[in-house]
Amino acid sequence: MNESVTRRKFLEVSAAGAALASSHLGFPQPSGQAAEAEAKPADDKAEKMFGAVIDCHAHLAYPGAADSDEKDRKLIEAADKLGIDQLCCSTLTPKRPATAEGFQTCNAKVAESMKRFAGRVLGYCYVNPGCGAEALDEVRRCIEDRGFMGVKLYNEYRCTEPVVFPLVELAIELRVPILHHAGHAHHPLPGQPNISDGGHLAELGKRYPEARLICAHVGGGGDWEWTIKALRHADNVFLDTSGSVVDEGIVEMAAEELGVDRLLFGCDMSMTAGVGKIRGARLGAEAKRKILGENMRQLLNMRG
């Protein structure tokens, strides 16, 4: 690569990051250690919702792990250091397909963490669509009684299979988004034979235009260019920017093809990569403000 081009790109990225860091729309200074965060009332963060940074894709540790609580504390500590105000979290079973007992255990852990880290952790209700009525009952209980903000679906079924439709219809009724695991690889994935991709989510979105769907981790689901193109005309499908892949141009292409209003900031536990790809993206401050939190806030506001 030409040295002058490299220098120009470096200066563009550095300037964008500096502008964002110095504004009230981006990443604030660290707000303290996780122990302080645990005791911090929800209102402290709620007062700052305009311009708040929301990670739309995060995970809490499975409760069976010996260091589960410590891992969650470190997640909040990392969010503090990186200026992330809120994390939309789910917990997944170690093995899938999940049983009803398994996803109920996961969601109980999320509910507990929402209290432990009040105002910082928001909950996705994870279920296996194959569990039928038990999955539907769990979603309704988590949303209506526990205050969860959305539904998390993984790879037990492809999202276009009829077994998934009742959950989509319930999410529409409850006015909450669905975050769906997704990826498009050009080689077989023996461990994920039912994985959905952007094309499947576009098809589901066309079937249910009232639904609000989130296609997970464009930077961690294989061919990101294919995924972006597959979602061009799926206006009710959002794309989250998470994943450990930091190829140049991911965020810019997504913004160009889909529009910044359909992009959601996420890390999926690749915290510095998740933050860095937004800070370094060649986009204006207003576009970054929408991606970092405003777009997700609009989805959260669907329930009123």
Structure tokens at 68: 């589960």
Residue with the larger pLDDT of the pair 1 and 264: 264
Residue with the larger pLDDT of the pair 20 and 236: 236
For the chain, the distance separating the N- and C-terminal CA atoms, rounded to the nearest angstrom, is: 51
With a CB cutoff of 8 Å and minimum separation 6, the contacts of 239 are 198, 214, 215, 218, 227, 228, 231, 254, 258, 262, 263, 264
Domains assigned to the chain? 3-303 (3.20.20.140)
Q: How confident is the model at residue 66 (pLDDT cuts 50, 70, 90)?
A: confident
pLDDT above 90 (res 304) = no
What number of other Cβ atoms are within 10 A of residue 2's Cβ?
Answer: 7
How much is the average pLDDT of 140-154?
98
Cα-based distances in Å from 180 to 7, 152, 153, 175: 38, 6, 5, 16
pLDDT above 50 (res 117) = yes
| Residue closest to 9 by CA, chosen among 280, 285, 286, 288 | 280
pLDDT above 70 (res 303) = yes
Distance CA 226, CA 230 (A): 6
Calculate what percentage of the chain has a pLDDT beyond 90: 80
Calculate what percentage of the chain has a pLDDT beyond 70: 84
The pLDDT tens digits of the residues spanning 123-133 come to 999 999 999 99
The pLDDT tens digits of the residues spanning 179-233 come to 999 999 999 889 899 999 999 999 999 999 999 999 999 999 899 999 999 999 9
pLDDT above 70 (res 285) = yes
Say if residues 16 and 89 touch (Cβ distance below 8 Å): no
pLDDT above 60 (res 34) = no
pLDDT above 60 (res 3) = no
CB < 8 Å & 24+ apart, contacts of 193-196: 194/155, 194/156, 194/157, 194/158, 194/161, 195/155, 195/158, 196/155, 196/158, 196/159, 196/160
The pLDDT assigned to 65 comes to 78
